[in-house]
Amino acid sequence: MKDCLFCKITSGEIPIEKIYEDEQICAFFDINPQAATHFLVIPKKHIANLMELRETDASLMGHIVYQATELAKKLGLEENGARFVFNCKEDGGQTVPHIHLHVLGGRKLNWPPG
């Protein structure tokens, strides 16, 4: 979608180093990391937020979650675990309206979030 930051990343219009890419999704490190390891996994298809999901997106979302765990393991997060989070719309703290799964690890994270 025009004017979407993450669509510009998936299309290559904004060139960034990706840590994973296939036909459906890609992953890259967050530009403003909130933990020692902080990366995002996003669909190439533009979906603004979780509330916009259709039932037909189920396998795509499963693929995102599964590849996030594979990357987390490769990046050394298996033993101590990590936080996997989708922020959704204003109250959820979402700032980029293109679905993205945050993976944060490498330090103990607090719960509940502030």
Instruction: Please list the active-site residues.
Output: 100
Instruction: Pick one of Zn ion, ligand AMP, none as the site partner of residue 96 (Cβ within 5 to 8 A by kind).
Output: ligand AMP
Instruction: Pick one of ligand AMP, Zn ion, none as the site partner of residue 1 (Cβ within 5 to 8 A by kind).
Output: Zn ion
Q: Could you tell me the two tokens for 92? A: 């959820």
Q: Closest separation between CB of residue 24 and ligand AMP, Å? A: 19
Q: Which ranges in the chain belong to alpha helices (H)?
A: 5-11, 58-74, 89-92
If residue 26 lies in a helix (H) or strand (E), which one and from where to where? Answer: strand 25-29
Instruction: Pick one of ligand AMP, Zn ion, none as the site partner of residue 16 (Cβ within 5 to 8 A by kind).
Output: ligand AMP
81 lies in the site for ligand AMP, by CB under 6 A: no
| Cα distance between residue 106 and residue 114, in whole Å | 19
